[in-house]
Amino acid sequence: MDLASRALRALRISAAVVAPVLVASPSLGLGEVQADAGQTAAPIAIHLDTNPLTAPSSVVAVGLDRRVLATLDSAGPTAEDWQRLFPIYTGAELPTDGRPPVAGKWTVEGEVLRFRPRFPFDPGLTYVTRLDLSAGPLAPVDLIPPVIATFALPAEITESSTVVSQVFPTASELPENLLRFYLHFSAPMSRGEAYAHIRLIDDQGQPANRPFLEIDEELWDPGMRRLTLFFDPGRIKRGLRPHFEAGPPLTAGTTYRLVIDAGWRDANDQPLAEGFEKTFRVTAPDRQAPNPSDWSIVAPAVASREPLELRFPEPLDHGLLQRVLHVETADGIPVIGEVRVTNGERRFRLLPQVPWRAGSYTITVETILEDIAGNNLNTVFDVDVKNSGSQVGRGRKVFELQFDVDPR
Amino acid sequence: MSSTARHALIFVAMLAMVSFAWAEPGKDASPSQKASAPALESAGQLTFGPDNILFAADSRGTAVYALDLGDSDKPSDEEMAGIEDVDEKVAGLLGTTPRQVLIQDIAVHPKSKNIYLSVSRGRGDDAKPAIVKVDGKGNLSLVDLTGVSYTKAMISNVPAEDAKDRRGRPLRAMAITDIAYSGGHLYVAGLSNEEFASNLRKVPYPFTGDMTATSVEIYHGAHGAYETHSPISTLMPYEIEGEAHLLAAYTCTPLVTFPLDKLEDGKHLKGKTIAELGFGNRPLDMISFDKDGEPYILVLNSSRGGMKIDPKDVEKAEAIVTHEHITRDTPAAGVPYVTLPMAGVLRADNFDDKHLVVLRRDLNTGGLQLRLWRTEWI
């Protein structure tokens, strides 16, 4: 919801207290402020200011004596003074648990005392404040009872609508040493509880015991719509203790379900609209590094905007395929276009922005490209050093492939 | 069950030079320059460096910041007793609910002894970073980064041709798992959300505008038969007989040490495995501390409590001997260690010569606590 529409919503203010007129002790040097006890004055009110021009929302106290405020301002209250004078807390009641006031800045603007929070107020969350001018550097100010008020921005009404939109690899047969899944979501998700909502269940209905690498950082993309889920590498790698203790997370010949429950919350703190399952059968481990000489190239026709197509004998990593293949003309000019990965991540297509011209082209492939078992173009995931034949082009940064767009 | 391992693991390091993108020279490259507020996109791992500079990792911005907080040179007269439900109090300070607060790391200012927390306010794509100070009285305050002197080093380039989400942001990201300062360099360990690679960066400090930094690819072996690489989840510098070392724990669980002066461009490095933490566990944090004048290493684990290691044993340790048939009942091998009852301890840092400060999840109440622990108990 944008700020303007937020501002148009009705505010919920639960307190506006009528207070006697400000009375200050002459000994404080307040000069022009005269004792005026017994009379009533304008009510002191505390409310949210959601004017989008002064966004984000702030809290203002109005109905205070301009001269008192000016004197207060000139006294140069510290942050600690303001926190005693006009603290804002989370919750509907003043805290008793030592909770600190909300961080922000206070300003005097004529007859208005304003608090701007460092972070915008949360919609739907109730805040409480206690305005007490006697608590600041002007103390003691007599006969001004503290004003306690609560306020809240309207809650943003959101419904569960986020779903798992895709899981890669898409194939229904996956190798025993599968390294990762990519979970794509239709909207931004929340961080911090991913692993509690993902289970791997075998064909006996038994959930696997900690099959995934659980790290505090959670490997999200910056937009929080794709989670990278690594299997525990210590269990996949041969020769490491977790591999001996617990075995690989997947066993060839077994069918598994990757189950994502709907309790996982999105960035709006709403659960998923529905859970998700991917069923797959596990095949023998893949311990071969992908070799670009095994790929076939389907060259496009000249003057067309047909895709350049690369066909792989095995699925390659969906994430890396998006960024590690680069196509250039013989003059070194990059071919810009849209990348599509299809056919169970066995096909890479580049659809150019402009039609192909006749000539020779070079496809540069960064060797960090991996298959779905984490074998990259330089080396397999765990190299059997007695069998160095499994290594391809070790130490290289790139492979280069050539193709021609023939003239008519 | 104890958890050191019996595999012989041979570690070989392969180093490669990579170019780094740096802060624009002259803009925010001078350590003394008061520039606009450092634009952290996230606040993660923290560690203090020379001249009480706070290094803060920004995974989202793929950068590390060096912040001059201008804190006091003297500790408070008060001795902080600790803070119960620290996440609730941080939430109050940040004007939100505890659910929307993720405390990422803690670090103690070497002089003032104020405790700094890196925090994410929010969990979604619009989460905001915050650095919170806990003073000697246990008061929490938000560090106002406006006007803070800082320098910044980018730790990776995100090429323009990367796949983008609907808002035009790249899908690629790097999670910085730990940072450590030693001998004029900041070591940055990270984990890509795409390729599975060793990702240790060596960044010279002070950060300047035209440097080349080293990306260290560390391979390791298992009982002489297999060789692989892996990201580092946590690391720590320490000295043995005046020689600087790095102790690193991999995501696939070996703990390995290597001398820092051997981390040079293009040279293979043989590291030493001192322990393997085993299945179902991951190291959370590592620090060194002194007890009765003797140094120790403390490794905090997700499910195996704390491990206290004598650095002299690390120095003496031989490479772990292989064993082909390890089970969960196989006795531990490698460097000896004492298992400490530290379940729920998530982060630790040195407070003074008698105390550590720990961030701890109380397993009975579920509350998050900041506590001072006397090293004599550890």
How confident is the model over B282-334, as pLDDT tens digits?
Answer: 888 999 999 988 889 999 988 888 989 998 888 887 766 455 555 666 656 67
Q: How far is CA B111 from CA B49, B105, B319, B348, B351, in A?
A: 12, 19, 39, 17, 10
pLDDT category, A142, cuts 50, 70, 90? low
Q: Work out the mean pLDDT of chain B and round it to a whole number.
A: 80
pLDDT in the model for residue B191 = 86
DSSP 8-state code for residue A212: B
Residue for token pair 């490209």? A369
A241:B173 CB<8 A: no
Percent of chain B at pLDDT above 70?
75
CA–CA separation, B143 and B130 (whole Å): 8
How confident is the model over B330-361, as pLDDT tens digits?
Answer: 656 678 888 898 889 999 999 998 999 999 99
- Shortest CA distance from B43: residue in chain A: A217
Asked if the model's pLDDT at residue A390 lies above 70, the reply is: no
Return left, alpha or beta for B224; rule: phi > 0 is left, psi -120 to 50 is alpha, else beta: left
* DSSP calls for A265-321: BBTTS-B-SS-EEEEEEEE--------GGG-EEEPPPTT--PPEEEE-SS-B-HHHH
Cβ-Cβ contacts under 8 Å, A368 against chain B: 195, 197
How confident is the model over A33-86, as pLDDT tens digits?
Answer: 333 333 445 688 999 998 777 678 999 999 888 888 888 888 889 999 999 999
Most confident range (mean pLDDT) of B71-85, B127-141, B149-163, B173-187 is B127-141
CATH number of A164-283: 2.60.40.1220
pLDDT in the model for residue B101 = 97
Query: Pairing between strand A398-405 and A112-117?
Result: unpaired
pLDDT in the model for residue B84 = 94
Q: Say which of B93, B139, B163 has its CB closest to residue A322.
A: B163
Asked if the model's pLDDT at residue B227 lies above 70, the reply is: no
Q: Which of B373, B217, B366, B251 is nearest to B308 (CA)?
A: B373
Q: Which of A125-134, B3-12, B271-280 has the lowest mean pLDDT?
A: B3-12
Asked if the model's pLDDT at residue A17 lies above 60, the reply is: no
Percent of chain B at pLDDT above 90?
41
How far away is chain A from the Cα of B37, in angstroms, using its nearest Cα? 14
Residue for token pair 């990762």? A180
pLDDT, greater one: B219 or B233:
B233
CA–CA separation, A19 and A248 (whole Å): 72
List chain A domain ranges.
3-152, 164-283, 292-405
Are the CB atoms for B372 and B353 separated by under 8 Å? no
State the pTM of this model.
0.87
- Shortest CA distance from A397: residue in chain B: B16
CA–CA separation, B124 and B102 (whole Å): 11
Q: Which of A104-108, A173-177, B158-162 has the lowest mean pLDDT?
A: B158-162
* DSSP calls for B298-355: EEEESSS-EEEE-HHHHHHPPPPPP-TT--TTSPP-SS--EEE--TTEEEEEEEETTE
Mean pLDDT of B84-102: 97
Q: Which of B100, B117, B193 is nearest to B370 (CA)?
A: B117
Residue for token pair 């005269």? A34
pLDDT, greater one: A242 or B365:
B365
Mean pLDDT of A384-408: 73
Asked if the model's pLDDT at residue B219 lies above 80, the reply is: no
Q: Which of A144-153, B104-113, B279-288 has the lowest mean pLDDT?
A: B279-288
Asked if the model's pLDDT at residue B157 lies above 60, the reply is: no
B230:A191 CB<8 A: no
pLDDT category, A129, cuts 50, 70, 90? very high
Tokens of A43: 């009510």
Q: Which amino acid is at A112?
A: V
Q: What is the ipTM of this complex?
A: 0.85
pLDDT in the model for residue A64 = 86
Q: Which amino acid is at B49?
A: G
Q: Say which of A180, A240, A368 has its CB closest to residue B7.
A: A240
Q: Which of B30, B18, B48, B19 is nearest to B207 (CA)?
A: B30
Q: Which CATH number fits domain A292-405: 3.30.450.40, 1.10.1040.10, 2.60.40.1220, 3.90.1300.10?
A: 2.60.40.1220
Q: Say which of B89, B125, B172 has its CB closest to residue A323.
A: B172
**Cα B257 to chain centroid, rounded:** 15
pLDDT category, B37, cuts 50, 70, 90? confident
> Using omega within 30 degrees of 0 as the cis cutoff, is the peptide bond preceding B98 cis?
no
Q: Which of A287-301, A324-338, B241-255 has the lowest mean pLDDT?
A: B241-255
pLDDT in the model for residue B208 = 78
CA–CA separation, B197 and A321 (whole Å): 16
Are the CB atoms for B113 and B79 separated by under 8 Å? no
Q: How far is CA B370 from CA A98, A243, A394, B106, B307, in A?
A: 14, 36, 48, 9, 20
* DSSP calls for A233-266: HHHHSTTSHHHHHH--SS-TT-EEEEEE-TT-BB
